[in-house]
């Protein structure tokens, strides 16, 4: 799927709202996406919004998570985490649910194919990403990532080879790519810096996929500073 350049607006980052900030005019009809600039789960929905060209229809509301405002839990999202979407008088959470919701309920190019085989494979990959892939890599930080993550990175490499009609998981760009890229890009930086483990060695399809994703401004404008990622992930060691 190709997006014309004019559909992606490059936005200035607003100062995140913190404990001293007043809330926006909640439930006034404005659609708001509450995020943290550094949260990979929120990044999934942010990328989806950008790819569908919804920058003017879904307002970003960045939250300072270490010093989050009390009103966010009390008046917006009792789970007190991001991402959360304020739409049609209700709040919706959970990133994998949200990327599907945004794709299905807003205008813009579809980010999930109609082909039944691709949809079935896509659902398997969406189940795998949080339950197995992310958990395995995080757990490896306390041990030997080279050995402990080989199977999951190989699974990703093989999955990217299933369809040959494009460089993405389902051939065409989809929600599956959006679900994986925030974590793969962080894992790549951290594992290389701390463990001298380059995840793309021996995985040419993964390398090509990362390169392709990094050419999309809809994604690159959502990326987190590498130094922050490295320091944050060290907490899991």
pLDDT averaged over every residue in the chain: 95
Peptide bond into 83 cis (omega under 30): yes
Number of Cβ atoms within 10 Å of the Cβ of 176: 26
Residue labelled with tokens 């309920």:
105
Q: Residues 206-221: pLDDT tens digits?
A: 999 999 999 999 999 9
Distance between CA atoms of residues 2 and 225, nearest Å: 27
Both tokens of 65, joined, read: 């998570």
The per-residue b/e assignment along 118-140, b for 16 or more CB within 10 angstroms, e otherwise, is: beebbeebbebbeeebbebbeeb
Q: Residues 28-56: pLDDT tens digits?
A: 999 999 999 999 999 999 999 999 999 99
Helix (H) / strand (E) containing 223 = none
pTM: 0.95
Distance between CA atoms of residues 49 and 56, nearest Å: 10
Contact 10, 60 (CB under 8 A): no
In angstroms, what CA-CA distances link 235 with 15, 47, 49, 226? 25, 26, 30, 15
């Amino acid at each position: 799927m190709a997006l014309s350049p004019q559909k992606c607006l490059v936005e200035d980052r607003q100062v995140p709202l913190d404990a001293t900030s007043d809330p926006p005019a909640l439930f006034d009809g404005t659609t708001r996406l509450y995020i943290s600039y550094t949260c990979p789960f929120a990044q999934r929905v942010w990328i989806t919004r950008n790819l569908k060209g919804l920058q003017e229809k879904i307002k970003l509301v960045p939250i300072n998570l270490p010093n989050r405002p009390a009103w966010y839990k009390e008046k917006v999202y009792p789970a007190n985490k991001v991402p959360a979407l304020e739409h049609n008088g209700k709040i919706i959470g959970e990133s994998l649910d949200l990327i599907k919701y945004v794709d299905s309920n807003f205008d813009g190019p579809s980010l999930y194919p109609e082909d039944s085989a691709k949809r079935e494979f896509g659902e398997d990959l969406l189940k795998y990403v949080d339950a197995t892939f992310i958990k395995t890599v995080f757990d490896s930080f306390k041990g030997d990532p080279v050995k402990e993550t080989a199977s999951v990175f190989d699974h990703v490499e093989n999955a990217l080879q299933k369809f040959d009609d494009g460089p993405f998981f389902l051939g065409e760009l989809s929600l599956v790519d959006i679900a994986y890229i925030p974590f793969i890009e962080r894992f790549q930086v951290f594992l290389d810096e701390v463990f001298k483990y380059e995840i793309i060695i021996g995985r040419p399809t993964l390398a090509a996929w990362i390169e392709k994703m990094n050419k999309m401004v809809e994604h690159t404008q959502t990326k987190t500073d590498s130094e922050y990622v490295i320091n944050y992930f060290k907490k899991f060691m």
